[in-house]
């Protein structure tokens, strides 16, 4: 299953598609549901040479200067020439390195097996867009409290929400690394707020992959509604359960 999801996620990022657009590309008859044939056929032409993708940080405009501030900041005439500092030397450019390539071997039988497991969980013959999105989406769990910000840049960034440990985020873009920071654009599953969040700063991790999978550790009833009808405890004699 992980190999199938890796190929799906890689092709989505490599082609710059949203998960919904990837679904549409696989749904050849455009009926809003993926059949086993459509799913397995897409994998015959999918790129299985999975490479590391380095996305560039988004270009974000700085806050505009107040009127007149620019003129004050630039002296005129000879004074300006005297006060000009020599241009800083550009840092040496990093030599491009070959990306790491991992070849994913996916026999048709394995693809079909994963598809059947996906639709079995839904109890349907085909895979709906909603189920596909849930499967392909990448989730992170918050391990350290931190801010969800409006922009990729952290300096003077507007805080949209304060994230708490244990929260779950759905990744929408990234990860993108810049200046010792790795950040992703994510959606807070608690209330749908979207923004940028740091996954790593140096070797310090703020998020970890996962967080959307739960395991039953105690027997409990599954109900159709959120509310539970709790029966009044009956009084019993000693030794009665």
Same domain, 50 and 149: no
Q: What is the pLDDT of residue 57?
A: 63
Q: How far apart are CA 21 and CA 234, in angstroms?
A: 56
In a domain? residue 70: no
Q: Could you give the C-alpha distances from 13 to 5, 9, 115, 142, in angstroms and in order?
A: 12, 6, 21, 23
Same domain, 48 and 119: yes
Residue 24 is encoded by which pair of tokens?
Answer: 């549409």
Q: What is the pLDDT of residue 124?
A: 86
Residue 19 is encoded by which pair of tokens?
Answer: 């998960």
Q: What is the pLDDT of residue 209?
A: 84
Q: What is the pLDDT of residue 178?
A: 86
Domain that holds residue 203: 139-209
Q: How far apart are CA 124 and CA 9, in angstroms?
A: 23
In a domain? residue 24: yes
Same domain, 144 and 198: yes
Count of domains in the chain?
Answer: 2
Q: What is the pLDDT of residue 231?
A: 41
Same domain, 124 and 160: no
Label residue 197 exposed, middle or buried (CB < 10 Å: 0-12, 13-18, 19+): buried
Which domain CATH number covers 116?
1.10.238.10
Half-sphere exposure (Cβ direction) of 109: Cα atoms closer than 13 Å: 0
> Which pLDDT tens digits describe the chain residue by residue (241 residues)?
899 999 999 999 889 888 999 999 999 999 999 999 999 999 999 999 988 766 566 666 654 444 444 444 344 444 444 444 454 455 445 455 566 788 889 899 999 999 999 998 888 889 999 999 999 998 999 998 999 999 999 888 999 999 999 999 999 888 888 888 899 999 999 999 999 999 999 888 899 887 444 444 345 455 554 344 444 444 444 554 4
Same domain, 116 and 159: no
Of 91, 111, 136, which marks where a domain is finished? 136
Same domain, 109 and 156: no
Q: How far apart are CA 240 and CA 237, in angstroms?
A: 6
Half-sphere exposure (Cβ direction) of 137: Cα atoms closer than 13 Å: 22
Residue 125 is encoded by which pair of tokens?
Answer: 């013959």
Which domain CATH number covers 195?
2.30.30
CA 192 to chain CA mean position, Å: 13
């Amino acid at each position: 299953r992980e190999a199938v999801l890796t190929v799906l996620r890689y092709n989505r990022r490599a082609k710059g598609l949203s998960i919904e657009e990837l679904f549409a590309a696989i749904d050849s008859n455009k009926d809003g549901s993926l059949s086993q044939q459509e799913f397995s056929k897409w994998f015959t032409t999918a790129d299985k040479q999975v490479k590391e993708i380095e996305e560039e940080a988004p270009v974000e405009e700085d806050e505009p200067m107040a009127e007149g501030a620019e003129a004050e900041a630039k002296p005129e005439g000879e004074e300006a020439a005297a006060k000009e500092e020599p241009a800083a030397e550009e840092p040496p450019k990093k030599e491009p390195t070959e990306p790491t390539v991992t070849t994913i071997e996916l026999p048709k039988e394995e693809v079909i097996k994963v598809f059947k497991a996906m639709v079995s969980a839904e109890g349907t013959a085909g895979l709906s867009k909603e189920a596909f999105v849930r499967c392909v989406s990448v989730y992170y769990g918050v391990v350290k409290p931190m801010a969800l910000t409006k922009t990729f840049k952290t300096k003077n960034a507007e805080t949209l929400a304060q994230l708490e440990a244990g929260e779950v985020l759905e990744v929408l873009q990234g990860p993108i690394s810049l200046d010792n920071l790795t950040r992703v654009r994510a959606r807070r599953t608690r209330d749908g707020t979207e923004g940028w969040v740091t996954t790593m700063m140096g070797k310090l991790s703020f998020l970890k992959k996962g967080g959307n999978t739960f395991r039953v550790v105690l027997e409990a009833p599954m109900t159709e509604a959120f509310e539970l009808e709790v029966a009044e405890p009956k009084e019993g004699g000693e030794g009665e359960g």
